[in-house]
Amino acid sequence: MTVLSAGLVPSASAADVQSQQWYLSAMKADEMWKVSTGKGVKVAVIDTGVNPNTPSLKGQVLAGEVPRAVGYKATEDYDGHGTSMAELIAGTGAGDGLKGLAPGAKIVPYRLAMKDMKDGSEKEKAPQLPDVIRAIADSDVKIISMSFGEDVERSDVLAAVKYAESKGKLMVSATGNDAQEKNFIGYPAAYPYVVGVAASDKSGRVGKFSEHGNYVDLASPGLEVPTWCDNTFRSYCTSQGTSQATAIASASAALVWSAHPDWTANQVLASLIDTAGRDWAKDDPSTYLGYGLIRPRMVLEQSNFNPGPAATDPLARENATGVTDEAGTSTSASASASAPPQSPKATAGGRTSAAASTSDTSDNTTMWIALGVAAAVLAIGGGAFVVIRSRRAA
């Protein structure tokens, strides 16, 4: 997946960053916050670390709940990516910082060794993904947000994912940003029980970079989203990626789970799938947008919403079929099950100045197009989102 981009446009002041969070108004966040802010829900952010001292995250990060065995430098973000994801989820907006979609939720931070990490010794000390997932599974965290990935399926990670599912955790992951180059299958998004999230723009079109396949389950805002420019935390930049989409999807789940604390992970996900914006049959999901554009407000506005049976897996069909390539051929885990451990890559995509009014960019920040066939305009929150789709491989 896309390495965190370099050569950013000059920094912007943080004062206007909330005005850049277009998806908050599009999703009618103010109305949702009257029902739920995510209070009582803990979200584990597995990333580059989370800085708990930004104005927007003060009091929001539960660093003391990270087990020592997997907590190496969890509150030291070497890139700014993990802190950005945490703010998109649960930022309070204090100090003119990012306002999270679920500002009442709390963040439990984890620092994972990423391929972008330049310090080899630091990479060796960072915990491995299977150990982190298992540690979270044994905690009272409800949601595991993973804005990173790799193109190799690993048996130890798969086993950890299955363990976390057995413990009732909802796992959300970025599908990846390399669709323009090779569109490889991205893990952990493609593992069973993990919700794969694609990135959409203001019109609901899937980003050109957003990877597609039958492991895409939902789409979420991921273009022109402000994040920290770097680990100096002095300014925000406009960015794009399935990372951002994953954080916003995780926050959406937190809103729903907070409003319905007695629901299971299956029921929270089922409610988001049932209410997703789409104009196609639910049993015929898209390879680009999955079951559709995430719309938590549609769940929250119905106090008696029926999420279905607690034990029914809403991704049962995909989990039974397994991942297929574009030709519809099932992939095999056997070839990579014994692959040596490697570090995944964060999926931030390109970033530009949050204050920029033009398309001056670095990397692929403004490169997106509608993929598939344009269909009817659906309402997601208060904004109109054009739904773009393509049928999944059988």
Per-residue pLDDT tens digits for 227-268: 999 999 999 999 999 999 999 999 999 999 999 999 999 999
Higher per-residue pLDDT: 381 or 246: 246
Cβ atoms of residues 296 and 252 within 8 Å: yes
Decide if pLDDT at 222 tops 50: yes
Helix/strand/coil for 346: strand
Going by C-alpha positions, the residue among 127, 105, 116 that lies closest to residue 44 is 105
pLDDT (0 to 100) of residue 265: 98
Decide if pLDDT at 337 tops 80: no
Catalytic positions, written as ranges: 47, 81, 243
pLDDT (0 to 100) of residue 54: 98
Mean residue pLDDT across the chain: 83
pLDDT (0 to 100) of residue 327: 55
Going by C-alpha positions, the residue among 42, 37, 38 that lies closest to residue 61 is 42
| Predicted TM-score (pTM) of this structure | 0.85
SS (H, E, C) 69-104: HHCCCCCCCCCCHHHHHHHHHHCECHHHCCECCCCC
Confidence of residue 80 (pLDDT cuts 50, 70, 90): very high
Cβ atoms of residues 98 and 91 within 8 Å: yes
Average pLDDT over residues 139-158: 96
Decide if pLDDT at 173 tops 80: yes
Highest mean pLDDT among 181-190, 295-304, 371-380: 295-304
Question: How many other C-beta atoms can be found within 10 angstroms of the C-beta atom of residue 13?
Answer: 13
Cβ atoms of residues 147 and 87 within 8 Å: no
Dihedral of the CA atoms 118, 134, 197, 299 (nearest 10)?
-140
Residue 182 burial by CB count (10 A; 0-12/13-18/19+): exposed, middle or buried?
exposed
Highest mean pLDDT among 30-44, 323-337, 355-369: 30-44
Confidence of residue 9 (pLDDT cuts 50, 70, 90): very low
CA distance 267 to 264: 5
Least confident of 51-55, 209-213, 375-379: 375-379
Average pLDDT over residues 135-150: 97
Domains observed in the chain: 14-321+353-389 (3.40.50.200)
Helix/strand/coil for 120: helix
Decide if pLDDT at 319 tops 90: no
- Helical (H) or strand (E) element with 274: helix 265-274
Cβ atoms of residues 238 and 20 within 8 Å: yes
Decide if pLDDT at 388 tops 70: no
